[in-house]
């Protein structure tokens, strides 16, 4: 099966559309979209992003920003900008799209893969930011490979099958990274709508579960189009500026 793996769209329609256009332009085939959560929050297009995802065959998880919008997280634990956007998003969403978010699972098992927004140990909250945190999480799932989002940074953590040593690597865009049989993995596709690795381009991955290849891609999108809508809605300046920086 070929999966288009995306995460953290954060209500950025221009970025999401650019990903789908790039997939089509490269003639990449996929059977299903695996979306690892945080569909909304930060960006100006929550309804349009949900509506577009719903036109595709997909599995979509809940993220911490989706939970915040649903009132499942105390907004006092969010930074003020994120909390303001959670409130704005709650008011902006149609009842039908709120119900869609409510029905998203926290984690999902798919054959050799375990999918969670944040980490297998804490599917909504934990940031798998380094090999040490990854090492603590490998015993928390049984599959060969765990897919997570949440940090907005594309990365692969590799647990050696013999030594159980964990190391990290950032597979470069455009070339397939093979998920070997003698190792286990925690992999992150990065963010579609708010990348934080210093590269402002939208990130996505094509996963072939037969060949066990993970191929990352980046695509530039019309950042100004998203920023204009954010300004029109009086979004915090910091959130508008960070899209240019990819931070
Ligand atoms: Zn996020």
Residue 10 CA to ligand 1 centre (angstroms): 7
Ligand 1 center to 230 CA (angstroms) = 17
Using the mean position of ligand 1's atoms as its centre, give its distance from the Cα of residue 227 in Å: 18
Check if the beta carbon of residue 68 is closer than 8 Å to that of residue 11.
Answer: no
* pLDDT at site 111: 95
* CA 76 from centroid of its chain's CA atoms: 23
Which residues are CB-neighbours of 126 under 8 A, at least 6 positions away? 118, 119, 133, 137, 150
CA of 166 to the centre of ligand 1 (A): 24
| Interval between CA 140 and ligand 1 midpoint (Å) | 22
Phi and psi (nearest 5°) for 179? -85, 100
Residues near ligand 1 ion, CB 5 Å cutoff: 8, 38
User: 85, exposed or middle or buried, with CB in 10 Å at 0-12, 13-18, 19+?
Assistant: buried
Q: What 3-state class would DSSP assign to 208?
A: strand
Over residues 218-237, the pLDDT tens digits come to 999 999 999 999 999 999 99
Residue 6's pLDDT band (cuts 50, 70, 90): very high
What pLDDT score does 16 carry? Answer: 98
User: Which residues, 6+ apart, have CB-to-CB distance to 169 below 8 Å?
Assistant: 155, 156, 158, 177
CA 237–ligand 1 middle distance (angstroms)? 18
How do residues 129-187 score in pLDDT, each as one tens digit? Answer: 999 999 999 999 999 999 999 999 999 999 999 999 999 999 999 999 999 999 999 99
CA 162 to ligand 1 center in whole angstroms: 33
pLDDT band at residue 28 under the 50/70/90 scheme: very high
The CATH classification of domain 2-245, taken from the options 3.40.50.140, 3.30.365.10, 3.30.70.20, 3.60.21.10: 3.60.21.10
Average pLDDT of the segment spanning 9-33 = 98
127 strand-pairing partners = none
**Which ranges of the chain would DSSP assign to H, the alpha helix?**
13-25, 46-54, 64-69, 80-92, 95-102, 131-137, 223-232, 237-245
pLDDT cut 90: percent of the chain above it: 97
pLDDT of 232 reads 98
Span from the CA of 193 to the centroid of ligand 1 (angstroms): 9
* Verdict on whether the full-model pTM lies above 0.85: yes
Q: Please report which confidence band the pLDDT of residue 110 belongs to, taking 50, 70 and 90 as the band edges.
A: very high
Distance 182 CA to ligand 1 centre (A): 31
Alpha-helix runs per DSSP H in 70-222:
80-92, 95-102, 131-137
CA of 85 to the centre of ligand 1 (A): 13
């Amino acid at each position: 099966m070929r999966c288009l793996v995306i995460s953290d769209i954060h209500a950025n329609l221009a970025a999401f559309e650019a990903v789908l256009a790039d997939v089509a332009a490269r003639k990449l085939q996929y059977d299903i979209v695996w979306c690892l959560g945080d569909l909304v929050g930060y960006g100006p297009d929550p309804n349009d992003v949900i509506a577009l995802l719903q036109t595709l065959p997909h599995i979509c998880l809940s993220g911490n920003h989706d939970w915040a919008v649903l009132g499942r997280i105390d907004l006092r634990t969010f930074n003020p900008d994120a909390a303001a956007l959670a409130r704005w998003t709650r008011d902006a969403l149609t009842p039908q799209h709120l119900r869609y978010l409510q029905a998203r699972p926290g984690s999902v098992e798919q054959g050799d893969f375990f999918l969670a927004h944040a980490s297998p140990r804490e599917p909504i909250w934990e940031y798998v930011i380094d090999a040490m945190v990854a090492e603590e999480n490998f015993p928390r799932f049984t599959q060969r490979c765990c897919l997570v989002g949440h940090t907005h940074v594309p990365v692969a953590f590799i647990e050696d099958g013999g030594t159980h040593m964990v190391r990290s690597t950032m597979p470069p865009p455009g070339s397939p990274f093979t998920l070997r049989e003698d190792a286990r993995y925690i992999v992150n596709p990065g963010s579609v709508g708010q990348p934080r690795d210093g590269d402002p381009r939208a990130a996505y991955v094509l996963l072939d579960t037969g060949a066990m290849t993970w191929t990352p891609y980046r695509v530039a999108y019309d950042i100004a189009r998203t920023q204009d809508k954010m300004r029109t809605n009086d979004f915090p300046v910091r959130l508008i500026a960070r899209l240019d920086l990819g931070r």
